[in-house]
């Protein structure tokens, strides 16, 4: 599909990794799990109408594939805002093995063997890793979260809590809907420009009465402005490649969810 991410296969499970990150991580696809119907097959969302035991089994499959501790996977309830949650030992396992601890759209930690997962099916999920201060993060940003600049906010929180330096942080912008396919009415670019100002204009393209918005490009610009220079943009469009990824737009919402996951 491209040479920025590397496609891996474990059994029936297909996923993507980045050679620049030398800790365990993955961007999952929809293949390799046990869910059926619209959720076939590696659905990782408990809120999609799937059987609980199917989702748990899918997490076990993922854990075995990339060698992460299943009992320490930690998630958050994504709400399209810009709050960042710090995962300390008391919250490990939230969202899977214990009740959700937060409503937020990014997680950061410096705990070892503590996988952080963020969910996507068109929205941008980015993985962050600092090998110097030894911390990591996962950030979910749809257009609303992007407009609220959650990705650079996540970097800021890594600096505050773990003394990370932007020049040391590696960021991978994962598969998500591309500018080719993210077509909107005027309300989306107007709302984004109102919040972000003129810097967003180069990433909004008018086509007739519609607009195409480059969420991957905007997020890359934001973290470049935050001081990062180690950025890998997957350039993979979930809409174009809906044979491999769930796309909310392609399925009209009848779909499972993939995860971007990272573990020190």
| Sequence-distant (≥ 6) Cβ neighbours of residue 150 within 8 angstroms | 81, 82, 84, 105, 106, 139, 140, 141
How far CA 200 is from CA of 146, 149, 197, 229, in Å, comes to 10, 11, 6, 19
Residue 100 CA to residue 108 CA, distance in Å, equals 15
- DSSP helix/strand/coil, 235: coil
By C-alpha distance, which of 119, 136, 50 is closest to 78?
119
In whole angstroms, how large is the CA radius of gyration of the chain? 17
pTM of the model: 0.97
pLDDT tens, N- to C-terminus, the chain (264 residues): 456 999 999 999 999 999 999 999 999 999 999 999 999 999 999 999 999 999 999 999 999 999 999 999 999 999 999 999 999 999 999 999 999 999 999 999 999 999 999 999 999 999 999 999 999 999 999 999 999 999 999 999 999 999 999 999 999 999 999 999 999 999 999 999 999 999 999 999 999 999 999 999 999 999 999 999 999 999 999 999 999 999 999 999 999 999 999 999
Number of Cβ within 10 Å of residue 160's Cβ equals 12
Residue 17 structural domain = 6-263
Q: How many domains does the chain have?
A: 1
- Which residues on adjacent β-strands are paired with residue 163? none
Strands 170-173 and 124-130: antiparallel
Within a domain: 1:
no
Within a domain: 225:
yes
Contact 148, 195 (CB under 8 A): yes
The backbone torsions φ and ψ at residue 119, rounded to the nearest 5 degrees and listed phi first, read: -110, 150
CA angle 218, 222, 226 (to 5 degrees): 170
CATH number at residue 212: 3.60.140.10
Within a domain: 76:
yes
């Amino acid at each position: 599909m491209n040479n920025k991410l590397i496609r891996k296969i474990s059994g029936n499970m297909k996923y993507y990794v980045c050679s620049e990150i030398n800790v365990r991580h993955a961007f999952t696809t929809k293949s390799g799990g046990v869910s059926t119907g619209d959720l076939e097959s590696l659905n990782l969302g408990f809120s999609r109408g799937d059987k609980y035991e199917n989702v748990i089994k899918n997490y076990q499959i993922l854990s075995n594939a990339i060698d992460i501790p299943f009992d320490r996977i930690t998630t958050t309830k994504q709400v399209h805002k810009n709050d960042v949650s710090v995962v300390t030992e008391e919250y490990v396992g939230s969202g899977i093995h214990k009740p959700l601890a937060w409503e937020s759209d990014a997680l950061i930690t410096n705990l070892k063997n503590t996988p952080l997962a963020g969910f996507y099916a068109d929205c941008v999920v980015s993985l962050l890793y600092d090998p110097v201060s030894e911390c990591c993060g996962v950030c979910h940003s749809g257009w609303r979260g992007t407009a609220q600049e959650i990705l650079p906010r996540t970097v800021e929180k890594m600096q505050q809590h773990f003394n990370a330096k932007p020049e040391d942080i590696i960021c991978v912008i994962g598969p998500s809907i591309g500018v080719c396919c993210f077509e909107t009415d005027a309300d989306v670019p107007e709302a984004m420009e109102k919040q972000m100002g003129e810097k967003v204009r180069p990433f909004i393209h008018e086509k007739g009465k519609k607009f195409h918005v480059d969420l991957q490009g905007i997020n890359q610009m934001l973290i470049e402005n935050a001081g990062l220079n180690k950025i890998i943009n997957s350039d993979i469009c979930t809409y174009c490649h809906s044979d491999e990824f769930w796309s909310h737009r392609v399925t009209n919402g009848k779909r499972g969810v993939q995860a971007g996951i990272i573990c020190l």
